[in-house]
C-alpha cells in the first residue's frame, strides 16, 4: 500500500518516533509507549498517574513518548495548554509542564498558563513563545500524525507501534507492555 501525507492506517503508528518528540525513559527501552493526549481531557487526566506508575514499575524497559491531540471543539484550552508545554519544553521543562498541566486541569485559562510559564521559566522566553503561538504548527503536526494513525479520542496509546485497544488501567497496561 502506498501512503500519502493523508493516508490513514488504523492500528499502527504512522509517524515514527524522532528527535522532535518528547521522550521520557531510556533510549534503549524494549518498549516504546506513545500517548496521544489532550491536557484538558478528564480521561487523560485519570490516565496520567497510571502512566507515571507504569514508568516507575518498568523504569528500564519502557519509555514514554507524548504527542499532542487537542480536541479543541470539546476542550477549548487544550491547544493553548499544548503550546504551553512546547514553550516550556524549549526551555528544557517539558515534563515539568506536562505534570503541571495534568495537576491543574481546572485552571488552563490564558492567565494561568502565562503565570505557569513564568514560574517554570523566569527568563520569560516560554511566556513569550506561548503568547506568540510559536509551537502551533508542531501541535498541528502531532494531531495530523495521530489522525493518520487512526486516533479519534484521547488518550490513545501505541505500544511498539501498535495501537493498544484495551483499557488503560495499570494492570492492563503492565500486561500489554510485558507482552510487547
Q: Is residue 15 part of a domain?
A: no
Question: Could you list the residue range(s) of the whole structural domain that residue 53 is in?
Answer: 22-178
The number of folded domains in the chain is 1
Rounded to an integer, what distance in angstroms lies between the CA atom of residue 56 and that of residue 33?
Answer: 14
Q: Is residue 144 part of a domain?
A: yes
Q: Which residues of the chain have pLDDT under 50?
A: 1-8
pLDDT tens sequence across 19-58: 999 999 999 999 999 999 999 999 999 999 999 999 999 9
Candidates 121, 157, 120, 170; CA nearest to 33 is 157
Q: Is residue 61 part of a domain?
A: yes
In CATH, what number is assigned to the domain containing residue 152? Answer: 3.40.30.10
The pTM score is 0.92
Amino acid at each position: 500500500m502506498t501512503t500519502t501525507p493523508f493516508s490513514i492506517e488504523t492500528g499502527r503508528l504512522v509517524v515514527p518516533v524522532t528527535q522532535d518528540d518528547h521522550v521520557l525513559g531510556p533510549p534503549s527501552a524494549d518498549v516504546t509507549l506513545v500517548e496521544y493526549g489532550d491536557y484538558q481531557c478528564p480521561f487523560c487526566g485519570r490516565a496520567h498517574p497510571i502512566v507515571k506508575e507504569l514508568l516507575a514499575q518498568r523504569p528500564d524497559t519502557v519509555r514514554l513518548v507524548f504527542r499532542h491531540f487537542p480536541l479543541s471543539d470539546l476542550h477549548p484550552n487544550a491547544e493553548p495548554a499544548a503550546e504551553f508545554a512546547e514553550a516550556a519544553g524549549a526551555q528544557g521543562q517539558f515534563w515539568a509542564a506536562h505534570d503541571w498541566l495534568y495537576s491543574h486541569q481546572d485552571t488552563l485559562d490564558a492567565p494561568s498558563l502565562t503565570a505557569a510559564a513564568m514560574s517554570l521559566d523566569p527568563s520569560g522566553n516560554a511566556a513569550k513563545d506561548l503568547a506568540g503561538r510559536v509551537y502551533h504548527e508542531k501541535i498541528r503536526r502531532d494531531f495530523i500524525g495521530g489522525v493518520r494513525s487512526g486516533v479519534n479520542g484521547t488518550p490513545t496509546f501505541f505500544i511498539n507501534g501498535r495501537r493498544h485497544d484495551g483499557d488503560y488501567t495499570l494492570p492492563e497496561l503492565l500486561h500489554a507492555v510485558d507482552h510487547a
